[in-house]
Amino acid sequence: MVMGLFGDAGARAGRDDVVGETLDHFVEFTTASDGRFFELYNATTGLVDGGWQTGRHWDSEPDQTWSATAYLRLIHTGVMGIQFRPDGIAFRPTKPAGTGPLTLQRLPYRNASLDITVHGSGIHLDKLSVDGREIEPDQPVHLPAEATGEHRIEIHCG
Q: What pLDDT does 37 receive?
A: 82
- Residue 52: per-residue pLDDT: 87
The answer on pLDDT for 43 being more than 80 is no
Count of structural domains, the chain: 2
Among residues 14, 120, 19, the alpha carbon closest in space to that of 4 is found at 19
Residues 67 and 93 in one domain: no
Is the Cβ–Cβ distance between 96 and 121 less than 8 Å? yes
| CATH value at residue 150 | 2.60.420.10
Give the pLDDT confidence score for residue 157 in this predicted structure. 93
Q: Are residues 75 and 113 in the same domain?
A: no
Same domain (yes/no): 89, 72: no
Question: Looking at per-residue confidence, does 37 or 124 come out higher?
Answer: 124
Angle (CA) 18 84 11, round 5°: 10
Tell me what pLDDT residue 114 has: 98
pLDDT in tens, 64-114: 888 888 889 999 999 999 999 999 999 999 999 988 999 999 999 999 999
- Classified as helix, coil or strand, 106 is strand
The pLDDT value given to residue 133: 96
Quote the domain boundaries for residue 152: 85-158
What whole-number distance in Å separates Cα of residue 5 and Cα of residue 158? 24
Percent of the chain residues topping a pLDDT of 90: 61
- Computed over every residue of the chain, the mean pLDDT equals 90
Give the whole-angstrom CA distance, residue 111 versus residue 9.
Answer: 29
Q: How many CB atoms lie within 10 A of CB 55?
A: 5
Contact 16, 78 (CB under 8 A): no
What does the alpha-carbon distance between residue 20 and residue 94 come to, in Å, rounded to a whole number?
A: 9
95-109: per-residue pLDDT in tens? 999 889 999 999 999
Residues 92 and 155 in one domain: yes
Q: Are residues 67 and 105 located together in one domain of the fold?
A: no
The secondary structure of residue 60, as a DSSP letter, is P
